[in-house]
Homo-oligomer: A and B are copies of this chain.
Amino acid sequence: MITIKHQSITVSSPATVANMVCGFDILGFALQAPYDIYTLTISNEKGIKIIQEDAFDLPANPEENVSGAALLAFLEAVPEIPGLILHSKKNIKPGSGIGSSAASAAGVVVAANHLINNYFPKEELVRFAMFGEKVASGVKHADNIAPAIYGGVTLIRSIFPLDIIPIQAPDLYVTIVHPQIEIRTADARQILKQNILLKDAIKQWGNIAGLVAGLIHHDYDLIGRSLEDVIIEPVRSILIPGFNEIKIKCKEAGALGGGISGSGPSIFMLSTTLQIANSVEQIMQEVYNQIGLAYNTYVTTINHEGVKILDSK
């Protein structure tokens, strides 16, 4: 039975990296930073009211808003809650390729579930949040939402039926650079070839198997050898200036490897130490300074927890 336990919840909801090099559409992981802050309060007024406390000028109509759409799906399953007021403070820039919309969708459904004493299992929360992702990209994908909700590295073995498998991953450092260009997810999908060579697919699934085994066994060498994408990256990296130079130089500096975050334009690199992760950041900055492109960088770690409750009343 659904019972209301809290009146108000504040959460942090993390950025995430989908399409983990060889793991296109199936592997993603959560980051410690950046993250959004959401406060959800039960209201007697029906429906969702969204109060935006950031400068991103996202749609305020719940049906067109990622958080709003996810919460509408949630409310439909929870008639015990008449309405919700959402205070939304996003730090993850939409369109950056590090799961901004997934953070919006995942954060609010985890918060809403906490109001009712975590009635729904995580997998059900992913389903609610996917209604939000559909507003953002037209597709109900889960490879950012799942790591945002579960934390760590998650495998989406299958979307229909939904089958999410948390992969125990080591404490890796992550360096992200977000060059200030826009790549629409729809465009990044469109340039992909619908047909691929069987021999390339075999290489790719060898690497995926190696990556999963490497993550579970904390075998850094194996993770590094497996972080290779012969199918998606060669096509999509063309859209990201400086990509190849950054990748080569970061690996020379000791990074295990990395690639395009989501559908870009952000690039991520994994490292075993903070020192290497900082060197990697410096390389990224130098490359974009030389190209003359504005950018943001982050040095962070894999977030094993996912959306985090900061306060409850």
A interface residue numbers (CB < 8 A to B): 22-27, 155-158, 163, 165, 167, 192-199, 201-213, 216-217, 222, 225-226, 231
Instruction: Name the CB-closest residue of B to A222.
Output: B165
Check A27 against B209 for contact (C-beta < 8 Å).
Answer: yes
Check B231 against A198 for contact (C-beta < 8 Å).
Answer: yes
In the complex, A199→B205 CA distance in Å? 14
Q: Which residues of B contact A201 (CB under 8 A)?
A: 196, 201, 204-205, 231
Given contacts A195-B198, A196-B195, A196-B198, contact A208 B209 (CB under 8 A): yes
Check B206 against A158 for contact (C-beta < 8 Å).
Answer: yes
Q: Which residues of B contact A155 (CB under 8 A)?
A: 206, 209-210, 213
Check B209 against A157 for contact (C-beta < 8 Å).
Answer: yes
In the complex, A193→B201 CA distance in Å? 12
Check A209 against B206 for contact (C-beta < 8 Å).
Answer: no
In the complex, A155→B25 CA distance in Å? 22
Instruction: Name the CB-closest residue of B to A208.
Output: B205
Lowest 9 A-B CB distances belong to which pairs? A157-B210, A201-B201, A157-B206, A26-B206, A212-B212, A205-B208, A195-B195, A205-B205, A25-B202
In the complex, A78→B158 CA distance in Å? 50
Can you report 15 A-B residue pairs in the complex whose CB atoms are below 8 A from each other? A23-B209, A26-B205, A26-B206, A27-B209, A157-B209, A157-B226, A158-B203, A165-B222, A193-B198, A195-B195, A195-B196, A195-B198, A196-B201, A201-B204, A213-B216
Having A157-B209, A158-B207, A216-B216, one finds 9 other A-B pairs with CB under 8 Å, namely A23-B209, A24-B202, A155-B210, A157-B222, A158-B225, A165-B210, A192-B198, A195-B198, A204-B205
> Which of A26, A167, A203, A217 has the most B CB atoms < 10 Å from its CB?
A26
